[in-house]
Chain A
Amino acid sequence: MFRRLSRLPIALLVTLLASTPLQAADPALRLATTTSTANSGLMDFLLPRFTAVTGFEVHLIAVGTGKALRLGREGDVDAVLVHARQAEDKFVADGYGVDRADVMYNDFIIVGPESDPAGVASSNSVAEVFRNIHASKHPFISRGDDSGTHKRELILWQSAAKNPGGSWYREVGQGMGKTLQIANEVDGYTITDRGTWLAYQSKLDIKLLYADDPPLFNPYGIIAVNPARHTDVNYKGASKLIQWMISPEAQKMIGEFKIRGQQLFVPSAVSGN
């Protein structure tokens, strides 16, 4: 019986192996990006067009900005599309990336309980928002995961000249969606990108309290991994992608992309405007 049965796994194995796409025949380009661009559906909207125009297939890996840059540094991806200007400049200055280009921006917003005990909605500046939250000691949920949003939050605390800490300041180390849910459960404040907020809004009781202020703008940059440092990265594909992302066609598509009728990203490439 086992003699007969033993042929089955082998036959299965061969079938499975035969149906596995071969790596070599795959000119795929690896792009590490942030969850905010991938989960909003923007990249699903843009990339098929890029593939149609250039023939390059893109493998999209959605992680936080910190991890995306790390993947680029190690040569595990060919390009990164991230939002953390200071970290991006350092990435290029340290020789890990080349050909950085501005692509677009979206914005961060401050959300929190409708009762707004810290008076966020009536603040006159982002710095005041953060000072008010600090003074009220009302729970504030921080991503605490080294993501672009977390990095921005820390910069905003700095610009408010406040050092967050204490039991009201909770670092959860989770993605944006989970962080919003936690903020909702404890009726606390948090900072979020608008895309994730739009996706989650209908499930939450907390409200948008503060937005549309330039310090909350969130620029995205695309960077190719330096081929001088990692000789076998797909630099050709990465260059093509950068050129296309700042082309008038892609820039127009970015501006047209909507979630629930709301525009999410504003194109900002120099050649696109």
Chain B
Amino acid sequence: MDILLASCAEAFRLLFSGDPEIWEIIAISFRVSSLAILCAVPPALVIAFSLAYGNFFGRRLLILLFNTFLSVPAVVIGLTLFIVLSRQGPLGDFKLLFTQTAMGLGQFLLCLPILVCMVHVALQAADRAAWETARTLGASRVRAFFTVLFEIRFGLMAALLAGYGRIISEVGASMMLGGNIAHYTRNIPTAIALETSKGAFAEGIALGIVLLFLALMVNALLQYVQGKGSINP
């Protein structure tokens, strides 16, 4: 029990003492994950729209595949990318292994299926009439696309949160692709793994609390932006 109390105290000391090392780790975590999800959103939206509104051969197979990718272990994504990015791999000339870019790529692949599936579900649940009405009223396809996006904004928000939640807390792929290099590819999850392997359990849990605390802040902010989030006006 002592260790949990000590960890909480340590977490707040870490957060508020202005320790540059911890803020650097936090910044790396958020920078890489934010970039990864921002890059994943446009393709995810396009794929989800195609799956929901398109009518092409292999559509159901694609849906099945994306649903299956929801359960791919992060370590497998990490290992596959590791082989591809290694100097002996097909993309070895880019020297991407053990960089933030490699970590970002891994997280991009991890959150893409989540975004696709959740946006697809939101689109299915939404009224198709929104699209058709917008089109009938003379809106361009792009305009109609944004109209529908607005209709499903809560589902979209949920998709973003779920995707972000997966990658900001992911350790397997980041460890393998980033290498947990201090000041460069050490993010919160890999730092937790490092503290654990050093036997510094209090610091490990403290970093976990830091992550949760920051997630709470982000969620609170989004909830505020989103409004009440209830169906009733």
Contact = CB atoms under 8 A, between A and B. Distances in A.
Interface of A: 1-3, 9, 12-13, 16-17, 19-21, 23, 28, 30, 35, 39, 44, 59-62, 74-77, 175-178, 196, 199-200, 203, 230, 232
B198 A39 contact: yes
Closest CB pairs A-B (n = 9): A75-B87, A61-B179, A199-B199, A200-B199, A59-B181, A2-B146, A177-B197, A39-B198, A74-B88
Nearest to B39: A13
A12 B34 contact: yes
Contacts of B146: 2-3
A200 B201 CA distance: 10
Interface residues of B, number: 30
Given A3-B146, A61-B98, A35 B38 contact: no
B86 interface: yes
Nearest to B198: A39
B179 A9 contact: no
A35 B197 contact: yes
Contact of B197 (A13, A23, A30, A175): A175
Q: Which of B87, B92, B100 has the most CB of A within 10 A?
A: B87
A266 B158 CA distance: 55
Contacts, number: 71
12 contacts: A16-B34, A23-B95, A23-B101, A28-B184, A35-B197, A61-B98, A61-B179, A76-B86, A176-B197, A196-B199, A199-B198, A203-B199
A230 B182 contact: no
A76 B196 contact: no
Interface in B184-209: 184, 194, 196-201
Given A17-B35, A20-B100, A9 B196 contact: no
Given A3-B146, A17-B35, A59-B184, 15 more contacts: A12-B34, A13-B38, A20-B31, A20-B35, A20-B100, A59-B98, A59-B181, A60-B181, A61-B98, A61-B181, A74-B86, A75-B88, A76-B87, A177-B196, A232-B95
Interface of B: 31, 34-35, 38, 41, 86-88, 92, 95, 97-101, 146, 149-150, 179-182, 184, 194, 196-201
Contacts of A199: 198-200
A177 to B, nearest CB: 5
Of listed B38, B98, B100, B146, residue having the most chain A CB within 10 A: B98
A177 B87 contact: no
Contact of B98 (A76, A178, A196): A76
